[in-house]
Chains A and B, each alone.
Chain A
Amino acid sequence: MSARHPEVPGDKTGTATSVVETAAAAVQKFGPINNMHQHLCAFHFYAHDMKRQVEAHHFCGHQNEEVRQCLIYDGPESDARLIGVEYIISEALFLTLPDKEKPLWHSHEYEVKSGLLFMPAMPGPIERQDLAKLAQTYGKAIHFWQVDRGDNLPLGLPQIMMALTRDGQLHDHLSKDVEKRFNVNFNEERENRAYMKGPEHGIHPLANGAGKGLQTVLREVDCKPQAAAAATPAGASATRVFV
Chain B
Amino acid sequence: MASSDEKPGPMPGPEGSTPGKAMTTGQRILDKGAQIVQSLKPIKHISQHACTFAFYAHDLSRHIQTHHFLSRLNQDFLQCPVYDSDSSDARLIGIEYIISEWIFEALPAEEQKLWHSHAYEIESGLWINPGMAETIQKLELRNLAKTYGKFWCTWQVDRGDKLPLGAPALMVSPQAEIMGLVNPELIVKRDEKYRITSEDVIESRAGIEEPETISLHADHWRNTGKGFAIDVVQTEMKSGAPFP
Contact = CB atoms under 8 A, between A and B. Distances in A.
B90 A24 contact: no
A169 B241 contact: yes
Nearest to A155: B111
Contacts of A103: 1, 234
B219 to A, nearest CB: 12
Interface in A192-224: 203, 207-224
Given A119-B34, A214-B235, A230 B178 contact: yes
Given A65-B24, A160-B232, A82 B95 contact: yes
Contact of A104 (B2, B69, B75): B2
Contacts of A9: 76-77, 103, 106
Contacts of A220: 226-228
B31 A37 contact: yes
B243 A49 contact: no
A122 interface: yes
A190 interface: no
B113 to A, nearest CB: 9
Interface in A110-144: 119-123, 126, 129-130, 133, 140, 142, 144
A214 B75 contact: no
A33 B69 contact: yes
Nearest to B30: A130
Interface residues of B, number: 121
A183 interface: no
Contacts of B228: 218-221
B39 A33 contact: no
A129 B71 contact: no
A148 to B, nearest CB: 14
Contact of B238 (A10, A38, A49, A81): A49
A98 to B, nearest CB: 3
A104 to B, nearest CB: 6
A27 to B, nearest CB: 5
16 contacts: A17-B72, A32-B83, A32-B86, A33-B43, A59-B43, A75-B42, A77-B42, A82-B95, A85-B81, A107-B244, A121-B38, A144-B150, A166-B242, A168-B241, A215-B232, A218-B229
Interface of A: 8-14, 16-17, 19-25, 27-39, 47-51, 57, 59, 62-67, 69, 71, 73, 75-82, 84-85, 87, 89-90, 93, 96-101, 103-104, 107, 119-123, 126, 129-130, 133, 140, 142, 144-145, 153-158, 160, 165-166, 168-169, 203, 207-224, 226-227, 230-232, 234, 237, 239-242
Given A29-B131, A144-B95, A222-B227, 13 more contacts: A10-B74, A13-B75, A37-B32, A65-B23, A78-B44, A93-B20, A158-B167, A218-B229, A219-B231, A227-B179, A230-B179, A240-B181, A241-B181
**The 5 nearest A-B residue pairs measured at CB:** A98-B9, A213-B237, A10-B76, A66-B20, A10-B74
